[in-house]
Amino acid sequence: MSNLIEIENFSKSFGNTKSVSNLSISVKEGEIYGFLGPNGAGKSTTIKTLVGIYKKDKGNIKINHIDINDISYKQYFGYIPDEPYVYEGLNATQFLKFFAEMYSIDKSQIDKKVEDALNLFFIDEDINLQVQDFSRGSKQKLIIASALMHSPKILIIDEPMVGLDPSASVKFIQYMKDFAKNGGSVFVSTHSLDIATKICDRVGIIDKGHLRMEGSIKEVEEFSKKSSLEEVFFDVVNEQ
């Protein structure tokens, strides 16, 4: 299986503050990779660089074998941020149609794509309301739906469950599993070690901008001689 995400010797600073140092990670087809770490560890900096919000200082990053200096790589991933930033003057259908057009989805398919996206996650509010009147959870569901409109090969996710009710959380967890089974790659940052244990094929633990440990759940537990990912995480972070 080939790597759909390749990060090699990536570094990023803000002024004199080093956020990420010489990070190297790869994520294969059909794999869910959990990116774990405390607040300020460098997780969001890495994700925002992957999706093109930040520019890297050094290193090489490829998405679906395309260097991120080539903007065409953006068609291959769906990005779900930790905050549901939305165009509040639109209703749900208009919002999703905007994304469909942005991704140049064939006009004959847009209505079906929008319908499928709305059905994937039941949105509690009337979809004809302006998004500004949606609850936090419904805005998050709408962002998830918009990220899937163009059938991406890769999902890049920053704290996926924030704002979701238990039913939607279960549904999205299953979606991520099915997405990987069908050959996609999922790169997910989460503070929930329970979710990471349930869904991730491999995890990487980052702290103070450095990758401290990486492997399958079983591998990192055996290497650290711990009985759970939670014990591994706190041992790795607290020893620094």
Question: How would residue 34 be classed by pLDDT, with cut points 50, 70 and 90?
Answer: very high
Q: Which of residues 50 and 168 earns the better pLDDT score?
A: 50
Distance CA 191, CA 20 (A): 18
Question: How would residue 220 be classed by pLDDT, with cut points 50, 70 and 90?
Answer: confident
Residue 222 predicted with pLDDT over 60 = yes
pLDDT value of residue 116 = 84
Distance CA 200, CA 62 (A): 21
Alpha helices in 7-135 (DSSP H): 43-50, 92-102, 107-120
Domains and CATH numbers, the chain: 3-84+153-238 (3.40.50.300)
Residue 82 predicted with pLDDT over 90 = no
**Nearest to residue 141, comparing CAs of 112, 113, 118, 114?**
118
> 215-220, long-range: CB within 8 Å, 24+ apart, which pairs?
none
pLDDT value of residue 227 = 81
Percentage of residues in the chain with pLDDT exceeding 90?
57
pLDDT value of residue 196 = 93
pLDDT value of residue 66 = 97
Q: Which of residues 86 and 154 earns the better pLDDT score?
A: 154
pLDDT value of residue 168 = 85
According to DSSP, the β-strands at 210-215 and 154-158 are: unpaired
pLDDT value of residue 239 = 62
Task: Round the average pLDDT of the chain to a whole number and report it.
Answer: 90
pLDDT value of residue 204 = 96
pLDDT value of residue 212 = 94
pLDDT value of residue 125 = 65
27, 187 contact by CB (below 8 A):
yes
Distance CA 70, CA 37 (A): 29
> How does pLDDT run across 94-144, given as a tens digit for each residue?
999 998 988 889 989 999 888 888 877 666 667 788 888 888 888 888 899
> How does pLDDT run across 39-58, given as a tens digit for each residue?
999 999 999 999 999 999 99
